[in-house]
Homo-oligomer: A and B are copies of this chain.
């Protein structure tokens, strides 16, 4: 017998919980960004500073700073904005989390309250790297400075599922970051991860493992997903961003170096601005935590309002495209879930 249709309106669930704490550009920039995103949000931050709310506001003036030990801070400050926001996602009040605050705090709060997917060893931070014209996801970008081969295997599949779900890459090519193409190149852990990835049934997983990938191949757009440990990945991401900034800065200096060059610069200004936009961290919204039960996006600390808006849109898109569910399916069908444990747990 069919369930009678409810006559009372359902309470509206906010799609994205937004932590306004800790953003370099201040609370107002985050609020403005959330407004521009054009989706329903619930804001966690100092209500007194949120003059013109774009959605529901939960007063949470306490911020966890970047120099606090994340796990300790999250445990000892349950009223902090990131902790309240993560709890709202964990208990279903919102479907995704966006934070412009400290990465460590967002990661710890997500582990405690959003929780990891069943069978996932470790969540990873996934970030798009500055490869013009070719969205390339790198993970882990810093959540786990030391990893085991089984972690790298899960990172690979989580990254591929994300690129499929959110960036529409039908059959993502996965590369394992190493120091040579041969399967024997790299640390012992990388060699072991290579063997395990090569042994996976690629057809079932909807991805292609292309083997090891070297630095210059990454920037040439050789793969869609770059897998590495969180130490190498964090260093790599910051080096790439720094190099892109240094080189575009040197081009700008070259353009300003003489009147004739300045004229030349004027003529290519539009094109150079386009390139800078492509390389701009704000354009992609932020890094994503993969391996959790809900999408979590960590916006760059220095995000502009547009950067925040893109982060919220990215979280919304991950919800709409069922990125988490598809990740869980991909891990299960590849047979790489952690055995033994019947439930996920926070550390």
Contacts and interface: CB of A to CB of B under 8 A. Distances in A.
Nearest to A221: B246
How many copies of this chain?
2
Interface in A244-278: 244-248, 250-251, 254-255, 257-258, 260-261, 263-272, 274-275, 278
Interface stretch (A29-37, A56-64, A227-235): A227-235
B272 A254 contact: yes
A130 B243 contact: yes
Contacts of A266: 264
Given A179-B230, A186-B145, A235-B214, A257 B240 contact: no
Nearest to A181: B67
Contact of A271 (B145, B216, B228, B254): B254
A268 B275 contact: no
Contacts of A269: 264
Given A186-B231, A247-B248, A239 B215 contact: yes
A181 to B, nearest CB: 10
Contacts of A67: 182
Interface string A145-159: 110000000000000
B232 A216 contact: no
A25 interface: no
Contacts of A142: 179
A243 B242 CA distance: 9
A237 interface: yes
A67 B180 CA distance: 10
A239 B240 contact: yes
